[in-house]
A = this chain, B = another copy of it.
Amino acid sequence: MTNLIANLNKIFDNRIRLGIMSILSVNDWADFNTMKQLLELTDGNLASHLKALENVKYIQSTKQFIGRKPNTRYSITELGESEFKAHLDALEKLLK
């Protein structure tokens, strides 16, 4: 018997992480504030999920300054892209 959910990635259990990955999989990069607005999150909540995804190297960040304001850009890594795709494939298989 095949385990129905074995190919779903626990890292993506959270819908905020799905949101982040979706944004970064269709954009070359997105900055913190854009994602905060798109997902309607507090700084702390978004930051913690970005950190979790960065820790497993699914996304990467670049710090820069716009004038004096710090601005962090995020982009998806190759690993993140392939893991996200595998997760979506598993979801699709499970849900239809």
A79 at the interface (CB under 8 A from B): no
Evaluate contact between A4 and B91: CB separation under 8 angstroms. no
Nearest to A35 among chain B residues (CB) is B4
A13 touching B15 in the complex, CB below 8 Å, given contacts A3-B38, A39-B5, A94-B22: yes
Main secondary structure of the interface of A (DSSP, over half): helix
Contacts of A13 in B (CB 8 A): 13-15
Nearest to A92 among chain B residues (CB) is B95
Nearest to A94 among chain B residues (CB) is B22
Evaluate contact between A5 and B15: CB separation under 8 angstroms. yes
Q: Which residues of A line the B interface, CB within 8 A?
A: 1, 3-6, 8, 10, 13-16, 18-19, 22-23, 37-40, 88, 91, 94-95
